[in-house]
Amino acid sequence: MNFTRRQIIKAGAVIAAAGLPRPLLAQGPLNMTTIPSSGQQIPGIGIGCRNYRGQADAPEMSVFRETFATFHRLGGKVVDTSPNYGNSETVIGGIMADLGIRDELWLATKVDREARESGIARMERSFELLGGDSFELMQVHNLRGVEIQLQTMQEWKQQGRFRYIGVTTSSDRQYERFAEVMLRHELDFIQLDYSLGNRNAAQKLMPLAQDKGIAVLVNLPFGRGRLFNAVGGRPLPDWAADIDAKSWAQVFLKYVMSHPSAAIPIPGTTKPHHAEDNIAAARGRLPDARLRQEMENFIDPLLA
């Protein structure tokens, strides 16, 4: 039986209704992460916007807006999108303008073209849709046209249009080439797929990022929902309290955040209660090396 995140959260509500204690959401400041190339500090968790798409009058647009407002109200800043995600940049740009929070967010987007001129046009269009005179981070999406696009991105970084530049992947098949790009270019960020159930990026790419002083964004921190399905309706283990985790989502996110590379997960988040749950993962304690191993030993049999 497959379990959704909603079903798991609902199971927690049933436990609470039965009279069992249910801790309140953790309070206090968000854990911050330092970007090696600049020393700038940003919150240790962000929001991925792959599914922010659709018509302006669609009913989900009001939910997207409320989700973004919740994320911002709770201290969230790091926002990751892409012109490759349908009309996500249009939707995100409209929400930021409507809420008046564009300048309060740390905004990352991508370029996904092979040729120089088409890449320039793509990035200029991102400026039009998302607003502002600069982005915090521009990334080459899945290494597409990476050599050509990084040339332009370096030039625009020197002009102040981007503060940081980087590259992304979400596939093991690209890891070898990805490492070559990391070694050959001066990058501020990489973005890759990593989770408690998918630890392949930790074998070479994440240690290489540490060695070169490259910050790490993590997509797919829930393994496309595979982790939620693996734990099903199980209660949290006792060790979850040791890291101030009140939900499975927080357990999974804290595992990512505790990697020695100080990885920043950017879970896709389109519902306000998920934004609240995810942000809470950036508060409180993180697992140490011993507990990380225990977490891996716990999840591996469930995924087998």
Asked if the structure places residue 8 within a domain, the reply is no
122-167 pLDDT, tens digit each: 999 999 999 999 999 999 999 999 999 999 999 999 999 999 999 9
Give the HSE-up count for residue 48: Cα atoms under 13 Å, Cβ half-sphere.
Answer: 20
Asked if the structure places residue 231 within a domain, the reply is yes
pTM of the model: 0.91
pLDDT at 28: 81
The answer, yes or no, to whether residue 1 has pLDDT greater than 60, is no
Mean pLDDT (whole number) for 108-121: 98
Residue 27: which pLDDT band, with cuts at 50, 70 and 90? low
Q: What is the CATH number of the domain that holds 61?
A: 3.20.20.100
Asked if the structure places residue 3 within a domain, the reply is no
Mean pLDDT (whole number) for 4-21: 46
How close are the terminal C-alpha atoms of the chain, in Å? 15
84-114 pLDDT, tens digit each: 999 999 999 999 999 999 999 999 999 999 9
Please, which residues have CB within 8 angstroms of residue 113's CB and are 6 or more apart in sequence? 119, 121, 122, 144, 145, 149
Asked if the structure places residue 25 within a domain, the reply is no
183-206 pLDDT, tens digit each: 999 999 999 999 999 999 999 999
Helix intervals (H) in 162-288: 175-184, 205-212, 226-231, 248-257, 272-280
The answer, yes or no, to whether residue 17 has pLDDT greater than 80, is no
Distance of alpha carbon 195 from alpha carbon 266, whole angstroms: 11
pLDDT at 101: 97
pLDDT at 177: 98
Name which residue leads in pLDDT, 10 or 124.
Answer: 124
Asked if the structure places residue 139 within a domain, the reply is yes
Mean pLDDT (whole number) for 203-220: 98
DSSP 13: H
Q: Is the dihedral of CA 77, 276, 86, 147 positive or negative?
A: positive
- How far is CA 175 from each of CA 88, 140, 203, rounded to the nearest angstrom? 27, 14, 10
Share above pLDDT 70 across residues of the chain, in percent, rounded to a whole number: 91
The answer, yes or no, to whether residue 301 has pLDDT greater than 50, is yes
Asked if the structure places residue 244 within a domain, the reply is yes
Residue 245's domain comprises 40-303
Residue 244: which pLDDT band, with cuts at 50, 70 and 90? very high
The answer, yes or no, to whether residue 237 has pLDDT greater than 90, is yes
Asked if the structure places residue 33 within a domain, the reply is no
Residue 7: which pLDDT band, with cuts at 50, 70 and 90? low
129 and 139 Cβ atoms separated by less than 8 Å:
no
Nearest partner of 81 among 154, 135, 143, judged by Cα: 135
Counted domains in the chain: 1
Q: Report the range of poorest mean pLDDT among 22-26, 52-56, 99-103.
A: 22-26
Asked if the structure places residue 16 within a domain, the reply is no
Compute the chain's Rg from CA coordinates.
19
